[in-house]
Amino acid sequence: MKIISLNNLSKKYPIYGKPSDKLKELLTLKRRAYHEEFWALRDVSIAIDSGSTVGIIGQNGSGKSTLLQLIAGILQPNGGELIVNGRVSALLELGAGFNPEFSGRENVFMNGAILGLTHRQMAARFDAIADFAEIGSFMAQPVKTYSSGMFMRLAFSVAIHVDPDILLVDEALAVGDLIFQHRCLHKINQLRDQGKTILFVTHDMSAVAKFCNRALLLDGGRLLEDGPPELVVQKYYAIVYARERQYKQIHTGSLAPCESVESSGPTEAISPIRTVPNVDHRFGNEEAVILGVELFGPYGEPAREVTAQQEGTLRISTLCRKPLSNPIVGFTLRDRLGIQVSASNTSYEGQALPAAEAGDIVTVDFQVTFPDMVPGSYSISPAIANGAPLDHEMCDWIDNALVFQLRNPNLVYGMLRLPIRTRFAIMRASAAVP
């Protein structure tokens, strides 16, 4: 069942050069325009199934918040069709929907009335709302006296206790303290398991990978990508990288090369790898490219299945198409949900690579002892860059180039098993009595 349907949805705003231009336009009865049109959204078409958890990502100004405000009914579109089937509860910008002069209690009942709940229905929910918000006696005080954290506690508590069919969250969770954020994410998980439809705007890509079964990428008011979170997130990273690179070229001319450092590691020949098993997505300036990637087991054999706490070797070969003053070769390890587990590179490991010429093949071995992680499927995303660790240009990055299975005979709770030592003491009942 489609709970939300958007067909060529568009929203525009008039942008005036100065306040007096708006008055001039009114005096001419709008026969003469003194403004420019800014399209926050343009021709966006989306169909969302009931029970979906959708992450909406994009750079600032891409139209994410406008999209949620349209779905919530706060804004009206300038074009297209929007159909929402179900009760919508929205946790949008700080202050939206609350009257600062009313007490917390009064705002709770007012919000319930706006959403169509009776006073009796909200009274039945009030204690649960107050318990979750944990603002104590401030519930009787005007919300204008609240801190931002207290405000968000109350707003989120109301939003989740009005039995919504659709929950909209716009970066609101970033305001609360860490304990509150964990509690809210746990509650969102519960709502997702109950089959609620959840749409949230965030810049936390890990949250998108963990909580969502679908992601939308907006850019310049248009829908750029719609699909599995791990692929959409990588498309977003590619856009960010391209714009950062363009910004640096405009404002600095080009990146100043770092001083070349001679390699301190072994120089014996390592056979290059010339195959890439999988390419989900790749980006970079192509001054160097990933030539191949392979994972070897403890006895030097190519492996697609490894065991926790055993040593293996990840080999990455790169082909330089242009001279690189300071090449950096590295990789990212992700689980099957696309959540980053770890990452490393030659610079981080203290292995400085010498400058490379066009046509050189640079091969790096990473000897890895696989941690005591939960068994399952993991992926390797190799990369080569040029420059310093905090100031470099990406030459080539391949998402999920190699996928392998991790076996683990041990029981692991969560993602990995921590190296823990325990000790204990027992005071016998006879000794405890004076």
Examine the domain organization and report whether 206 and 294 are in the same domain: no
Examine the domain organization and report whether 225 and 285 are in the same domain: no
Examine the domain organization and report whether 294 and 196 are in the same domain: no
Round to whole Å and give the CA distance between 36 and 34.
7
| Domain end call among 187, 211, 235 | 235
The whole-number average pLDDT for the span 307-326 is 94
44-72 residues labelled b (16+ CB within 10 A) or e (exposed)? bebebeebbbbbbbbeeebbbbbbbbbbb
Examine the domain organization and report whether 41 and 113 are in the same domain: yes
The SS3 assignment for 282 reads strand
Examine the domain organization and report whether 166 and 289 are in the same domain: no
Domain that holds residue 153: 2-235
pLDDT-derived band of residue 264, with 50, 70 and 90 as boundaries? very low
Q: Under a CB-based contact definition with an 8 Å cutoff, are residues 263 and 352 in contact?
A: yes
| Residue 237 φ then ψ, to 5° | -60, -40
Per-residue pLDDT, 389 = 78
Query: What is the Cα gyration radius of the chain?
Result: 27
Examine the domain organization and report whether 173 and 60 are in the same domain: yes
Examine the domain organization and report whether 290 and 231 are in the same domain: no
Read off the CATH number of the domain in which 319 is found: 2.70.50.60
- Identify the bridge partners of residue 343 per DSSP, sorted by sequence position: 332
| Torsion sign, CA atoms 96, 100, 106, 108 | positive
Structural domain count, the chain: 2
pLDDT-derived band of residue 306, with 50, 70 and 90 as boundaries? very high
Examine the domain organization and report whether 78 and 189 are in the same domain: yes
Is 423 contained in some domain?
A: no
Read off the CATH number of the domain in which 81 is found: 3.40.50.300
Is 251 contained in some domain?
A: no
Look at residue 260 and tell me whether its pLDDT is greater than 50: no
Per-residue pLDDT, 406 = 92
Round to whole Å and give the CA distance between 89 and 198.
10
Nearest to 401 by CA among 332, 347, 300, 319: 332
The whole-number average pLDDT for the span 17-42 is 84
Whether the predicted model's global pTM rises above the 0.85 cut:
no
Q: Return the number of other C-beta atoms located less than 10 Å from residue 366's C-beta.
A: 20
Round to whole Å and give the CA distance between 181 and 176.
6
Is 248 contained in some domain?
A: no
Is 249 contained in some domain?
A: no
Is 412 contained in some domain?
A: no
The whole-number average pLDDT for the span 141-170 is 86
Is 319 contained in some domain?
A: yes
| Domain end call among 216, 235, 254 | 235
